[in-house]
Structure 1
Amino acid sequence: MYFIKIFILVLLILILFMTNTLAEENKELCDCKPLRNLSLHNPLMEGDDIWELQQQLKDLGFYKGEINSIYDWQTYLAVRNFQYTSGLKETGIVKEELWVELAEALNKRSTITATNKRSQAPEGKVSLLINGYKRQMTVLSDGEAYYSFPVAIGKASTKSPIGEWAIIAKDKDWGGGFGVRWMRLNVPWGIYGIHGTNKPGSIGSAASHGCIRMFNRDVKVLYDWVEVGTRVKIIGRRDKIEINHDLKPRNVGADVLLFQEKLRGYGFNPGYTDGRFGGDTKKAMEEFKYIYGLKDDLEGDQNSFYILNIQ
């Protein structure tokens, strides 16, 4: 009995440690934070929301300084100038209303608007294709294009996860940075999703920590069209992926995703390129190793990498 109690205690400690670790990772990987008021402070405020603010003000011609993510004197003056031009009270303070004004000003210079004129759900099997180059999401019905929405993707330093994913959770009215709807993707190395935004001026740009942002009006429509399990493919630019160890079944990560892509490129079917070394990838490895006369196991090793031209 004593040893059982000790075992349970150790197990609980491990679970608590893993939960805390995951929470810390999520803080780094998900940018869906509550909106905060921005103003000139001492010490100066810093953050990605200020990076976005400076970028939007720069696009509108109000901010001339370096985009440095710091709410400094130049940023303050740019905000006040924008407020003056827009007929707003010149406070130099950025609240939710200012983000909306920025979005409206940017939309006047662009064709990007909330466009959900089509309210009828697709009749076929729904899947999503997110084109990071075009900042566009295409809803497919039985593989055929049905409708398109403008989106925002991850910025250069925190790119959206390229690959083939699935929606694994849906939720309403999270508020804050999530907007009015949230749909989580099964990316194995972090928390990423499709959601609305309280910064509508970011739509059509690369601005997030990797999540896919939509106008709140649009994401409400999409939310009703998709189910848990809906497939989502994201294409676009990504950082270089390196494989520095052998890959084995049950491994997960971007290195596994690259390996899956290479297997597919050589005519083998690893299933979805989702960064998970699962059953379909094992079958592809069996066929690959048999055809090339390699050791009869399921490991991606140096010989495999050489044949697949993985540096």
Structure 2
Amino acid sequence: MPADSTGSPPSPAAAPTTGSSDSPALHNERFAHLPDLAGVLAGKATLGTGAKGPGVKAVQQALLDMGFSMHGGADGAFGAQSTKAVHNFQVHARSAYPEVKASGVVDAATLRALDALALAPGQRGQTQHLPGSRYKSVPVRVVVVKNEHRTFLFDPQGKLHSIFGNAVGSRYTQTDSGLKKVTGKLDEAQSIALGKKLWGGPVFGPRIVDLSWADGSRSGEELHGTSAPAQLGEDVSHGCVRHDNTAIIAIYDALHVGDMVAIVDSINDPHLSTPPTAPTGTPDLSGAVASR
């Protein structure tokens, strides 16, 4: 999923201007002209289980375009998958917008945050409130953010390329946080064969990216696809990081053995930082794209 972003530093986004308290406004064209969202913004209604309509569909599509998993797509009907995606967005947004609560229901605070953080219609990704692409100053190609169930793929210069939904380890088999390294890549035939050998079926999807710890010691974790896409966005794995099968192919194609992967609890992990930019007036001979 291409991300129309510049890999901005993980600083809180500025809240949108809402006009007077008597007439709040939505500014993102995704939402600005939808009557069923006016009541939500005014605090007179919420979107939750059972809600239907164009406002629900607009919220769903915005979340999908930001990389939050929602099996079944934007159908305009608010069900369990929508509740999960909204909850994961709220976990993401609340450090920049403290009034947002992780309820799984779209209220006024959640709608305002989504209005500010989602890009314009037809665009995918984010430009604000992002994780850095360095972990303890080490450049990484991937940042897996466990609490919001998203995987951020960066290009070699540290610019955000794509955001994908994921599923991480369960309460009893947690995905370990820290700096990992790509040590191997298994193609479709190898992934299917390993899945059949270990679990009796093609549970790993069409690709596996094997990870070690940064020092080369075995981590027992991988990035891979899934045979259960409805579980993306949850804590359900045995420690590996699952992705949609289209997503894992994109990740597999982008990564090389030796690339670094950071797994963090949240985008506010203190080990994350953004790449330095070249001083003003100094040519950047590395070909890096400066964050802006």
Instruction: Please confirm whether the aligned pair reaches a TM-score higher than 0.5, indicating the same fold.
Output: no
TM-score normalised by length of structure 1 = 0.37
User: Normalized against structure 2, the TM-score is what?
Assistant: 0.40
Larger Cα Rg: Structure 1 or Structure 2? 1
